[in-house]
């Protein structure tokens, strides 16, 4: 997803930013680290599985679309870190695309895996 490189570059630029370490900046940095960490974990699990069946292990055992969710979380953390309230509109707009894409993917997965995917969907979040 395109959001990860953008967040990584922006986070690198943000660390050069002068100013006091407020609670908001620390929370933002924590969200960036958690978001990128779990995004990376999800990618590693997906790539290493090389399976042709429904991925239901690791992070995917709890969250159906961890890449979308955690890149969104990292970007939200970046906005907090930079103290950019105007970025909330961008965050909302950026969030619409992956959530719509996830719904589209779910339709395809439901058509492909049927009841297996419907059960998986009931047991997981987003």
pLDDT value of position 73: 92
Contact residues for 120 (Cβ-Cβ < 8 A; gap 6+) = 54, 56, 64, 113
Q: Which two tokens stand for residue 102?
A: 């996830």
Break the chain into its structural domains and give their ranges: 21-123
pLDDT value of position 123: 95
pLDDT value of position 37: 95
Q: Which of 10, 7, 9 is nearest to 98 (CA)?
A: 7
Q: Are the C-beta atoms of residues 58 and 45 closer than 8 Å to each other?
A: yes
Residue by residue, pLDDT tens for the chain (126 residues) are 555 555 565 656 556 666 788 898 899 999 999 999 999 999 999 888 777 788 899 999 999 999 999 999 998 998 888 887 777 788 888 778 888 899 999 999 999 999 999 999 999 998
pLDDT value of position 113: 94
* Long-range contacts (CB closer than 8 Å, 24 or more residues apart) made by 59-64: 60/124, 61/124, 62/124, 62/125, 63/124, 63/125, 63/126, 64/102, 64/106, 64/120, 64/121, 64/124, 64/125, 64/126
pTM: 0.80
Q: Where are the alpha helices (DSSP H) in 15-86?
A: 23-49, 66-82
pLDDT value of position 53: 83
pLDDT value of position 13: 57
């Amino acid at each position: 997803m395109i959001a990860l490189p953008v967040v990584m570059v922006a986070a690198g630029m943000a660390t050069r930013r002068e100013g006091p370490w407020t609670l908001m900046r620390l929370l933002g940095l924590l969200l960036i680290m958690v978001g990128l960490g779990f995004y990376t974990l999800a990618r590693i699990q997906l790539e290493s599985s090389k399976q042709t069946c429904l991925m239901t292990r690791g992070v995917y055992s709890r969250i159906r679309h961890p890449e979308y969710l955690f890149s969104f979380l990292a970007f939200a953390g970046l906005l907090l870190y930079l103290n950019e309230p105007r970025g909330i509109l961008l965050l909302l707009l950026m969030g619409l695309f992956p959530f719509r894409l996830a719904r589209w993917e779910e339709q395809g997965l439901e058509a492909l895996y049927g009841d297996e995917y419907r059960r998986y969907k009931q047991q997981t979040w987003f």
